[in-house]
Amino acid sequence: MTQQSQRPAFAGWLSTTNDITRTFLAANRVPGLINMAGGLPEPATFPTAELAAIAADAVRDHAPEVLGYGPAEGLPELRDALARRFSSRDLTLTRENVFVTSAGMQGLDLVGKVLLEPGQLIACQYPTYLGALDAWRPRSPTYRNLVIDDPAFDAFSALDGAQFAYTVPNFSNPTGKLVSVETRQALVDAAHRTGTWLVEDDPYGTLHYDGKPLPRMIDLSARTNPGAPYAGPVVYMGTLSKEIAPGLRVGWVIAAPAFIEALAMAKLGADLCTSGLTQRIALAAIEAGLLEKIQPTILDTYRQRRDALCAAMREHLSDWLEWEVPVGGMFVWAVGRDPSLNTDDLLKHAMAAGVCVAPSSVFDATGMNRRALRINFTLNDASRLAEGAKRLARAFEAMRDPKK
Ligand SMILES: Cc1ncc(COP(=O)(O)O)c(C=O)c1O
């Protein structure tokens, strides 16, 4: 008889993920399915010709740098360019305040690595970006939900005692909502008073379709010590994923120098350094004004798609769902009129009807919130969005009357 060797079990946190997440992450590969689940940009907005030329120049002119290893903190010239880009009347940044990441997801991962002991408390804007919950899952944190638009929200008690607080103040993922200036200020004041790090995750800040941008929390925080290089409690995170192309995998963290040093230690154990090639491409794109050049097209495209989705939802889905039209970002957050709606169940009917949306359970650390849906409007054109809304209505009907 051959002896079966006993392989060690996989780490326990792996069993705390769920099938729902896998279902909608795989949606892109299902033929005919309309994918309104992910936060995916429209590929036609990628500036491919410009990026191809920049990439060719980068390899030709900077071969040792772009093909070799680089510093963990990032390409010095890119750190300087980002320091210039985010410095403002209130906020003084130097290279030491800037850390380049392999896009926003790595920023979230490294923040968890440098701040969390197993089981510690994170105060999270609720509902919470699924990727952030996934990034911190290996540390098995505990969560305090920050329901920021609750009139009783008190920023001090929200942050007090947490290792860090996590917010997406601009067009939050998943709700698409903006955090008001008053609440931003209250969160910043609370971070200064409690000493809690305040993570301001801002991938959508430039995707503003109506009205004016609101001040960043890191700028509000810098007002307490004007002129000095930033050393406060806000940890500001950004990415090129929604502004140019997610395939570049370039993002940044802007924070106090001590925080940047801690991130560098963690990055050595992650990927050593972000790709020198994509950092060079990012630098050249920023210096050539490519972001500003493509922004009007991106905003026009996404504004029209938001309006198309909301019109189709009004036509087909208003019996079941209610929502606010978002002023920016990539998502409509639609809440069931019926409090007993279970969007995990709805997703099964939606997949059968040929449309995929993201159910609210995945944006809740406890998985308990089943009443809402996150619907993306940036990836599909108006006619597919309309068809997607129709298919979703069919899914609601099928759920009400399974024999249909
Ligand atoms: C709130 C939020 N943070 C971070 C990210 C990470 O994006 P990336 O890793 O592509 O920069 C996303 C992506 O959708 C997001 O919605």
Q: Which residues sit opposite 144 in a β-bridge?
A: 123
2 pLDDT band, cuts 50/70/90, is: low
Where are the chain's structural domains? Answer: 17-39+292-399, 48-288
Residues with CB under 6 A from ligand 1: 39, 103-105, 129, 131, 168, 173, 201, 203, 239, 241, 246, 251
Query: At residue 379, does pLDDT exceed 80?
Result: yes
Q: How many of the other CB atoms lie within 10 Å of CB of 210?
A: 10
Query: At residue 401, does pLDDT exceed 90?
Result: no
Q: pLDDT per residue over 134-170, tens digit each?
A: 999 999 999 999 999 899 999 999 999 999 999 999 9
Helices 48-61 and 276-287 pack at an angle, to 10 degrees, of: 120
17 pLDDT band, cuts 50/70/90, is: confident
By mean pLDDT, which of 17-31, 72-86, 332-346 is the weakest? 17-31
Scan for tokens 């403002």, then name that residue: 88
- Ligand 1 atom with least separation from CA of 103: 11
Q: Which fold has domain 48-288?
A: Aspartate Aminotransferase; domain 2 (3.40.640)
372 pLDDT band, cuts 50/70/90, is: very high
pLDDT at 1: 54
Percent of the chain past pLDDT 90, that is, above it, reads 88
Query: At residue 28, does pLDDT exceed 80?
Result: no
Query: At residue 356, does pLDDT exceed 90?
Result: yes
Alpha carbon of 75 to ligand 1 centroid (Å): 21
pLDDT at 404: 59
Mean pLDDT of 16-40: 83
pLDDT at 206: 96
Mean pLDDT of 343-352: 94
Sequential DSSP letters for 262-317: HHHHHHHTTTSS--HHHHHHHHHHHHTTHHHHHHHHHHHHHHHHHHHHHHHHHHHT
Structure tokens at 111: 């923040």
Degrees to nearest 5, angle at CA 54 with 53 and 58: 120
Pick the closest to residue 150 from 108, 109, 183, 105 (CA basis): 183
User: Ligand 1 pocket: which of 106, 128, 170, 173 to mutate (most atoms <8 Å of CB)?
Assistant: 173
User: Ligand 1 pocket: which of 99, 126, 129 to mutate (most atoms <8 Å of CB)?
Assistant: 129
Scan for tokens 């395939």, then name that residue: 247
Helices 290-316 and 382-400 pack at an angle, to 10 degrees, of: 40
Mean pLDDT of 235-241: 98
By mean pLDDT, which of 118-122, 297-301, 363-367, 369-373 is the weakest? 363-367
Who contacts 152 (Cβ-Cβ below 8 Å, separation ≥6)?
Answer: none
Decide: residue 348, CB within 10 A, 0-12 exposed, 13-18 middle, 19+ buried. Answer: middle
Degrees to nearest 5, angle at CA 181 with 177 and 183: 80
84 pLDDT band, cuts 50/70/90, is: very high
Decide: residue 325, CB within 10 A, 0-12 exposed, 13-18 middle, 19+ buried. Answer: middle
Instruction: Please give the DSSP secondary-structure letter assigned to residue 75.
Output: -
Alpha carbon of 397 to ligand 1 centroid (Å): 33
pLDDT at 6: 84
Residue 182 to residue 236: CA distance in whole angstroms = 18
Q: Average pLDDT over the chain, rounded to whole?
A: 95
Instruction: Please give the DSSP secondary-structure letter assigned to residue 7.
Output: P
Scan for tokens 């950004």, then name that residue: 238
CATH node for 17-39+292-399: 3.90.1150.10
| 27 or 200, higher pLDDT | 200
Mean pLDDT of 385-399: 97
- Ligand 1 atom with least separation from CA of 172: 1
Query: At residue 117, does pLDDT exceed 60?
Result: yes
